[in-house]
Structure 1
Amino acid sequence: MQDYKWLNEYCLNRFGSAAALEAHLPTPATSKKLKAISADRYLSTMALRVFRAGLKHSLVDAKWPAFEEVFFHFDPEKVVLMGADHLERLMQDTRIIRHLGKLKSVPRNAQMILDIEQTHGSFGNFIADWPVNDIVGLWRYLAKHGNQMGGLSAPRFLRMVGKDTFIPTWDVVAALNAQNIVDKVPTSQRDQAIVQDAFNQWHEQSGRPLCQLSTMLAYTVNH
């Protein structure tokens, strides 16, 4: 695989200057900020990610105020009590996106958040304290213990709340393929570990967060 020096030089050549490159890179939230996010905001963002999957984001976002209303502003203690009858009634509410599987995911993910709070004090603590050098482990945890959080949903959710992570988008996977790191989307635990190791090496060489390295890597793919 190419080292960080190559990656940096490629991106500098593409954007023309360090300042131009920096303007296109995301910045992760601090641990303090992640810990300050309330459980209801984490649940709202998780639900937003679930409903955005496969749909036009602007369509989902336009309906989100109604989602906030029908899900009690995503208070996990209230949402977790929503039974099948309640969800069936929501299927008649034209203000929201009526997808039963995704609607069911909200109380299930509320339960995950409450379970985690029992052992970590807060969901924010859990997210903030997870080591980024094993961020794929957090993806797997959310996919296993949450609902509809597989595939790109976990890393995209983490990016949305500000947790440092890389995202295996098509461009990133194409770049990893070009460097012979993996030859397909890293869905297996083995392939995810290989990709994590590559990002850890670039991080050690550069000091940059994973989200910036992921974005820079995507820029190496020609369109």
Structure 2
Amino acid sequence: MLFGRRENALPTPEEALKGRPEPEFPLAGRHTVLGTPLAAPYPEGLSVADFGLGCFWGAERKFWQAPGVWTTLVGYQGGHTPHPTYDEVCSGLTGHTEAVRVVFDPARTSYEALLKLFWESHDPTQGFRQGNDRGTQYRSAIHTHSPAQHTAAEFSRDAYQSVLHASGYGPITTEILPAGPFYYAEADHQQYLDKNPAGYCGIGGTGVSCPIGVAKADG
């Protein structure tokens, strides 16, 4: 590892690595499972949702398997360093979380259905870790693309908090923020578990069902 690892606190903008003005690698090609392009622009009528729920290898698979999802890609979001690399993000010195971008068809699925999948696919009470994966890059996050998405995310969080509390879990630590820059990850991380079926997946939920339909959003 090229950098001292920081697991327990986010860096300030002044502490963060400087990054670079342009990405070091292209985003090209098609989704290895869905066959759709990874890079924007996307067809008219589709919507975008961004989620962080631990290691993005397993998280991406959860979403590409969902009905109504047009494409998925993984990247880095919510930090300070422009165009970071995987090693830089893993150092804890960029401020990013590992994220999945989900491009979906609102005529075939809903943002609420994606929120339900998000909450049920990980433990959102763990702070800067997910299972055995520890570090700020594994924190739970929802990055919203519209006021309607933001409202739906907050309502779903509050509804899920109620059932989690009743099941003995603590407070949800999930960030809900307007989406900032999404920096796509290196090609070998895209659809990683399709390319490496026996690869590591640390994603696991609480077993507690999330109420659905707690708020309406068009995407």
* TM-score w.r.t. length of structure 1: 0.23
Instruction: Name the structure where helix makes up a greater proportion of residues.
Output: 1
